[in-house]
Amino acid sequence: MELELKNLYDDFRDADTIKAYAKIIKVDAAKLKNSINIMEVCGGHTHTIMKYGLPQLLPSNIKFIHGPGCPVCIMPKERIDHAYVLSMQPNVILVTLGDMIKVPGSNGSLQTARSKGADVRFVYSPLECLKIAKENPTKKVIFFAIGFETTTPMSAALLDAVIKQNIKNVFFHINHVTVPEVMRELIDSRDIHVDSYNNKIDAFLGPSHVSVISGSKIYEEFPRDYNRPVVVSGFEPVDVMQAISMIVKQFIEGRCSLEVEYKRLVTYDGNVKAQELVNRYFDKADLFKWRGLGNIPKSGLKLKLEFKEYDAEDIYKDILPIGEIEDHKLCICGNILRGMANPPECTIFGTACKPTSPIGSCMVSSEGACAAYYKYGNLV
């Protein structure tokens, strides 16, 4: 039998299965003493949850807190401004992934830069940069690398190919971030100005694709050190419903552990080869600033010093803006991400802060809590 694309998702969107899980969760949730707030860390999960209307299937004592796991949403204006400045340099082709190009920085988005004449392109795979570089030998191709553990190996693979093929016109601006550090920040911040103590997150839904690369082991600390169950889940509605029911079961059985719903591909150790590739080229950066959450220690990656000659941040350091841009004073993204506030409680929600002119990270793409509230409105 020939495998078709639809075989990969049809069963995981089956209405009867979804309804069956809804029933199981309802019966189990009735036994809960307290309500549970589950944070789906990843924007992909937020998308699934909102697109398929899953909150409508859950009893009132189970709520979602939409997490910070969208690489586009969390990109601070400082970094977008870097991309903008780089794209406006003569003889530069700035390449990035998908919807990164629509997020506004202080001077506008990369789309704005493009309408002013900059050569900005988006690719599906970073390796497409090789082709662009070969077709444009007199131009500098700068890859504005974004994403979590899922996309980092591809950036590493690009650099690997650039070095092996001795290509001299591909450079990198690295904005890769990692998931466990931001999860920890939300529930146990080291920043004295941040009230993480009162966070309302009771359990985490871990993104499966991150664990395909990094293994499920990266979440071990959360049940162990922070008493927060984690279930690693796939992205289809059936996956998410099953994962929720696994979380609820842990609570009613008094367990707190790391479980994997997405057994189709996730192992404890993950993709060791991909991890090696990443470790060969990247180091942990001391700090990475997250839009809406501020500086988080060790949450970002940078190119190793020995690959400095490929690092656009180093090569263009004289022209890249260095000033800090404060998050908007009225923005409460940090509290929303900790489950301590709902989007409509924010005074600038839907007024100064809208999807077309986002102020906080949660409004940037459909994967953010505020944008989802704004977009899908009062049905949820």
Partner 1 sequence: MNKTISLACGNGGEENNELISQVFYKAFKNEILDKSEDAAIIHNGELAFSTDSFTVSPLFFAGADIGKLAVCGTCNDLAMMGAAPKYLTCSVIIEEGFETRELERIVRSMKKELEINGAIVVSGDTKVVPRGSVDKIFINTTGIGKVLKKGISSNNISKDDVIIVNRDIGCHGAAIFVAREGIEMSSSLKSDCESLFPQVEALLDANIKITAMRDATRGGVSAVLNEWSRQSNICIEVEEEIIPVSDEVKGICEMLGFEATALANEGTFVLAVNHEDAPRAVEILKTFESCKNAAIIAKVTDTHLKKVILKSSWGTSRFLDTPSGELLPRIC
Based on the shown chain and the rule CB under 8 A, indicate whether residue 150 belongs to the binding site for partner 1: yes
Q: In what order do the strands lie in the sheet with 140-147?
A: 119-123, 92-97, 140-147, 170-176
Q: Is 134 in the site for partner 1 (CB under 8 A)?
A: no
Query: What are 29's two structure tokens?
Result: 């949730």
Taking residues 223 to 242 in sequence order and writing x for each that binds partner 1 by CB under 8 A, - otherwise, the string is: --------------x-----
Which of 40, 44, 218, 343 binds partner 1 (CB under 8 A)? It is: 44
Please provide residue 196's backbone torsions phi and psi, each rounded to the nearest 5 degrees: -95, -15
Question: Which residue lies nearer to partner 1 by CB, 72 or 346?
Answer: 72
- Find residue 173's DSSP bridge partners: 144
Number of H helices, E strands in the chain: 14, 11
CB 203 within 8 A of CB 230: yes
CB 126, min distance to partner 1, A: 11
User: CA–CA separation, 153 vs 157, rounded Å?
Assistant: 6
> Rounded to the nearest whole angstrom, what is the least distance from the CB of residue 300 to partner 1 in the complex?
17
> Does residue 24 touch partner 1 according to CB under 8 A?
no
Shortest distance (Å) from residue 224 CB to partner 1: 27
Does 370 engage in binding with partner 1 (CB under 8 A)? no
Distances (CA, A) of 370 to 40, 270, 273: 14, 32, 37
Q: Whole-angstrom distance between the N-terminal and C-terminal Cα of the chain? A: 41
For tokens 């600033």, what's the residue? 289
132 three-state secondary structure: helix
Q: Is 59 in the site for partner 1 (CB under 8 A)?
A: no
Three-class SS of residue 14?
coil
For the bound state, the minimum distance from the C-beta of residue 318 to partner 1, rounded and expressed in Å, comes to: 27
Q: How far is the CB of 199 from partner 1 (least distance, A)?
A: 24
Q: Does 301 bind partner 1 (CB under 8 A)?
A: no
CB 200 within 8 A of CB 161: no
Please identify, using beta-carbon distances, which residue of 57 and 315 lies nearer to partner 1: 57
| Residue 52 found at the interface with partner 1 (CB under 8 A) | yes
With CA atoms as reference, report the closest residue to 145 among 87, 94, 105, 111. 94
**Number of residues counted as binding partner 1 (CB under 8 A):** 55
Of residues 317-356, those binding partner 1 (CB under 8 A): 355-356
- Longest pairwise C-alpha distance within the chain: 67
CA distances from 335 to 71, 81, 97, 189, 194 (A): 19, 26, 29, 12, 9
| Out of 25, 38, 70, 75, the residue judged to bind partner 1 by CB under 8 A | 70
Least distance in angstroms from the C-beta of 84 to partner 1: 14
Q: Which of residues 4-23 bind partner 1 (CB under 8 A)?
A: 4-6, 8-9, 15, 18-19, 22
Output the CA torsion 191→193→194→197 (10° steps). 90
Tell whether residue 97 is a contact of partner 1 (CB under 8 A). Answer: yes
- Minimum Å gap between C-beta 113 and partner 1 is 10
Write out the residues near partner 1 by the rule CB under 8 A.
4-6, 8-9, 15, 18-19, 22, 42-44, 47, 50-54, 56-57, 70-72, 97-102, 108, 111-112, 114-116, 122, 124, 146-148, 150-151, 207, 209, 237, 355-356, 365, 367, 375-380
